[in-house]
């Protein structure tokens, strides 16, 4: 199943098909040129930033608290993050172990710059969030894929991690809950993986940006909380997903103090401090009422059920989505390359989803669909996709 | 368990050459009320989501239009990317346009590009050498030394980064006015002098504009939405004698 042989793929999509990030943006730009598209592509919550967070930002602005902060962030926010990560994630951290970043994406960029030398290998579960590829490439790092599969709900196996280790291995990157698979790495697996990492002296970079969005009966677990892991774990998180704050560009990192110092030195010449208004908003998010997080999780849980029902009707298989804002679905029953399928669903069904190849070269039979539209819109998206699939299904 | 002080393995070697952390400035200008209210209004409208990767269209159009009016340049808004301060604009342009192992020619103050070039693995020189890949200049040195360098640039394939941020004033000259150079000139500017805490800058123009946009996206995805709306209001209402050499 190759895409290049298929005349249905337009040049603007074909030109960037080998670059997962650019492929996603090419499809988004195509969608932007069309009317009445249901966008189930980008991971941007449609829900509003909770009112008490916006109000805290307004207050800070009107009280003149918008001046430049230290590059590591507002002291009050660093303290609140440390407290949150101690209580929620079980991490043994103080404020000196924490810094504020311009979203989770920058946290990963800074961590890679501070840790990875040219030639270092970093183990990455496959499929992966390809937006991180650029940071690894720029540092001269080499990605080594660790396989995951649908039958295991895309959980990560310690044996698979260990099998990928070479003398050049320096770090393991985990995203849990996963973007794109919606799988989580369960506590039992993380305990086994931690043993492997200690045995081989690996650093763990763990992206937990979806950690507050985990569906019953599953639980989020932080590998950095395990004995012997604090000195080798860099934990990334952000306000973007749990509090619907993508546009504020505010995230954070917990790590050993010398890593925070190193990342801050890189940040000083990369972007400088995070926008101050966003930091006050982040402080309100962590210290204010948390009902909003629970309320949003309930909404996503309901949407997930609707979308999974739709996928059943579409004949798509999937691993159990245990967390995050996506469903990672097996579209092989269509017999159509995922990039072409995404294009057809966009052009003929006016539904934007992302092809699996945007998250790893080998995922030609998978698509990623977000939960980030209201239930009625998700239902409408399914109804739009069904006739397109019927038309083209092999 | 005690908080960890030291990583179990060595840091990347590039970290050793980076400057120690600087303290933020204590005094900053007051922010005009209309800018605050524009920010509050943007939040009330729900401008709390990702913006377009290169920035809100209105801001990019303002930058393109301004470069046209101020310098007579023909810049399309699609060639403009709003960044997290000029720091990000400099980092992206330096690390994507200069080449590792090459030299960046900087006839003036190089302090603002030193860290990015250290990370890239490029040298800074103040006179022409064979391995120069990029010329970095600002209005402060434009008249004195840059004319000659720009004439030399016509014979080379150097990228040229013209940094207007932090300049006390900007003469009406611009290296992109030279048709032989225009496709290789990136203009950087920011609102750091007046709105430092909002983290707003931009990079505009050149044949590398789309590559620079992708480079920014890989670091921060987009620039803070509410900052962009506040900055746009500041630009639209600013007095000509304001400090930023926009």
Same-domain status, A22 and A116: no
Sheet bearing B159-163, strands edge to edge: B80-83, B201-204, B185-190, B159-163, B132-137, B103-105, B123-125
A319 in the same domain as A276:
no
- The rounded distance, in Å, linking the Cα atoms of A75 and A78 is 5
A138 occurs within a structural domain: yes
The reported pLDDT for the residue numbered A6 is 63
Do A343 and A283 fall within a single domain?
no
Give contacts of B46 with chain A, Cβ < 8 Å: 48
My answer on whether A314 and A296 are in the same domain is: yes
- Within-domain flag for A3: no
CB A306 within 8 A of CB A375: yes
Q: What is the pLDDT of residues B226-243, one digit of tens each?
A: 999 999 999 999 855 444
A283 in the same domain as A207: yes
Interface probe with A: pick from B43, B87, B101, most Cβ of A within 10 Å: B43
Interchain CB contact of B198 with A (< 8 Å): yes
**Two structure tokens written together for B52:** 């377009």
Dist CA A346 CA A9 (whole Å): 12
A242 vs A213, A218, A298, A324, B225, CA distance in Å? 7, 17, 12, 9, 18
Query: Residue A130: inside a domain, yes or no?
Result: yes
- pLDDT of B241 reads 45
Query: How many whole angstroms separate alpha carbon B55 and alpha carbon A133?
Result: 22
Residue of B nearest to A248 (CA): B224
Q: Kindly state whether residue A344 falls inside one of the protein's structural domains.
A: yes
What residues in A contact B221, CB-CB < 8 Å? Answer: 103, 105, 131, 246, 249
B13/A contact by beta carbon, under 8 A: yes
Asked which of A239, A271, A287 is the last residue of a domain, the reply is A287
Q: Which of A48, A203, A275 sits opposite B224 (nearest CB)?
A: A275
* Three-state secondary structure string covering B36-73: HHHHHHHHHCCCCCCCCCCCCHHHHHHHHHHHHHHHCC
Identify how many contiguous H helices and E strands chain A contains and give both numbers. 13, 13
Cα atoms found within 13 Å of the Cα of residue A27, Cβ hemisphere only: 33
* Residue extents of the structural domains in chain B: 30-237
Q: Which of A252, A287, A322 is the last residue of a domain?
A: A287
A56 and A21 both lie in a single domain: no
Helix axes B57-71, B225-237, angle to 10 degrees: 30
Q: Class assignment of domain B30-237?
A: alpha beta
Per the domain annotation, does A299 fall within a domain? yes
Residue-level pLDDT at A13: 72
**In-domain check, residue A5:** no
Select the residue of B197, B215, B217 nearest A66 (Cβ to Cβ): B197
Do A106 and A222 fall into the same domain? yes
Peptide bond into A106 cis (omega under 30): no
Instruction: Report the pLDDT value the prediction gives residue B29, as an integer from 0 to 100.
Output: 81
A6 inside domain? no
Q: Is the pTM of this model over 0.90?
A: yes
Residue A156 to residue A172: CA distance in whole angstroms? 11
pLDDT of residue B243: 44
What is the residue range of A329's domain?
11-47+292-392
Q: Each residue of A137-148: pLDDT tens digit?
A: 999 999 999 999
Closest CA to A389 of A315, A310, A330: A315
| Interchain proximity B197–A25, CB inside 8 Å | no
Which residues of chain A are modeled with pLDDT < 70? Answer: 1-8, 12, 16, 18, 394
Low-confidence ranges of chain B (pLDDT < 70): 1, 142-144, 239-246
Instruction: Determine the pLDDT at residue A189.
Output: 98
Residues A333 and A355 in one domain: yes
**Could you give the angle at the alpha carbon of B219 between the alpha carbons of A207 and A323, nearest 5°?**
25
CATH code where residue A134 lies: 3.40.640.10
Confirm or reject contact between B100 and chain A (CB < 8 A).
Answer: no
Domain co-membership, A273 together with A300: no
The total number of structural domains in chain A stands at: 2
In whole angstroms, what is the distance from residue A259 CA to residue A98 CA? 10
Beta strand B159-163 with B132-137 is parallel
Cβ neighbors of A305 (< 8 A, separation 6 or more) are none
B33–chain A Cβ distance below 8 A for any pair: no
Half-sphere exposure of A187 (CA within 13 A, CB side): 9
The reply to whether A270 and A334 lie within a common domain is no
Using the Cβ of B21 and the Cβ atoms of chain A, whether some distance falls under 8 Å is answered with yes
For residue A43, the model assigns a pLDDT of 92
**DSSP letter assigned to residue B104:** E
Distance CA(A324)–CA(A370), nearest Å, equals: 9
């Amino acid at each position: 199943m190759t895409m290049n042989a298929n005349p249905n793929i337009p040049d603007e999509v074909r030109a960037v098909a080998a670059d997962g990030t650019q492929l996603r943006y090419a499809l988004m730009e195509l969608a932007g040129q069309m009317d009445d598209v249901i966008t189930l592509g980008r991971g941007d919550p449609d829900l509003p930033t909770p009112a008490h967070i916006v109000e805290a930002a307004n207050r800070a602005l009107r009280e003149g608290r918008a001046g430049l902060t230290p590059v590591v962030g507002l002291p009050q926010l660093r303290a609140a993050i440390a407290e949150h990560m101690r209580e929620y994630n079980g991490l043994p951290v103080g404020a000196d172990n924490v810094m504020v970043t311009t979203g989770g994406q920058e946290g990963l960029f800074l961590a890679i710059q501070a840790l990875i030398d040219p030639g270092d290998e970093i183990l990455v579960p496959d499929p992966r969030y390809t937006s991180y590829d650029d940071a690894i490439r720029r540092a001269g790092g080499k990605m080594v894929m660790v396989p995951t599969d649908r039958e295991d709900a895309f959980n990560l196996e310690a044996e698979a991690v260990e099998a990928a280790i070479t003398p050049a291995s320096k770090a393991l990157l985990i995203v849990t809950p996963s973007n794109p698979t919606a799988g989580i790495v369960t506590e039992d697996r993380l305990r086994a993986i931690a043993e492997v990492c200690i045995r081989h002296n690996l650093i763990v970079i763990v992206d937990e940006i979806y950690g507050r969005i985990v569906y019953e009966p599953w639980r989020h677990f932080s590998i950095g909380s395990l004995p012997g892991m604090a000195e080798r774990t860099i934990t990334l998180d952000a306000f973007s997903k749990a509090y619907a704050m993508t546009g504020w560009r505010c995230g954070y990192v917990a790590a050993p103090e010398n890593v925070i110092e190193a990342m801050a030195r890189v940040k000083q010449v990369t972007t400088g401090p995070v926008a101050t208004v966003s930091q006050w908003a982040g402080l309100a998010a962590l210290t204010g009422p948390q009902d909003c997080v629970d309320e949003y999780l309930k909404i996503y849980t309901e949407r997930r059920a609707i979308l999974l029902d739709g996928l059943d009707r579409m004949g798509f298989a999937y691993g159990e989505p245990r967390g995050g804002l996506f469903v990672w679905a097996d579209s092989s029953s269509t017999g159509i390359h995922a990039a072409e399928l995404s294009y057809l669903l966009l052009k003929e069904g006016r539904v934007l989803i992302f092809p699996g190849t945007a998250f790893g070269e080998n995922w030609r039979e998978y698509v990623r669909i977000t939960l980030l539209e209201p239930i009625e819109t998700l239902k409408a998206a399914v109804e739009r996709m069904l006739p397109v699939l019927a038309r083209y299904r092999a | 368990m005690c908080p960890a002080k030291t990583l179990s393995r060595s840091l990347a070697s590039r970290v050793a050459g980076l400057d120690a952390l600087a303290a933020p400035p204590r005094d900053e200008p007051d922010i005009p009320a209309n800018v605050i209210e524009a920010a509050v209004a943007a939040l009330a409208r729900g401008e709390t989501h990702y913006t377009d990767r290169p920035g809100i269209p209105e801001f990019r159009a303002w930058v393109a239009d301004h470069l046209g009016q101020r310098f007579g340049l023909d810049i399309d808004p699609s060639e403009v990317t709003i960044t997290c301060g000029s720091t990000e604009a400099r980092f992206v342009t330096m690390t994507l346009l200069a080449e590792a192992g090459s030299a960046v020619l900087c006839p003036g103050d190089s302090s603002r590009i030193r860290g990015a070039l250290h990370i890239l693995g490029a040298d800074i020189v103040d006179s022409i050498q064979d391995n120069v890949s990029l010329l970095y200049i600002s209005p402060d040195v434009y008249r004195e030394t840059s004319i000659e360098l720009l004439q030399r640039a016509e014979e080379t394939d150097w990228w040229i980064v013209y940094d207007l941020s932090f300049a006390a004033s900007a003469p009406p000259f611009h290296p992109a006015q030279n048709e032989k150079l225009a496709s290789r000139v990136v203009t950087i500017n920011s609102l750091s002098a007046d709105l430092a805490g909002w983290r707003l800058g931009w990079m505009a123009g050149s044949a590398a504009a789309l590559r620079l946009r992708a480079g920014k996206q890989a670091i921060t995805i987009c620039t803070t939405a509410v900052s962009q709306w506040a900055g746009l209001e500041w630009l639209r209402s600013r007095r000509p004698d304001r400090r930023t050499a926009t």
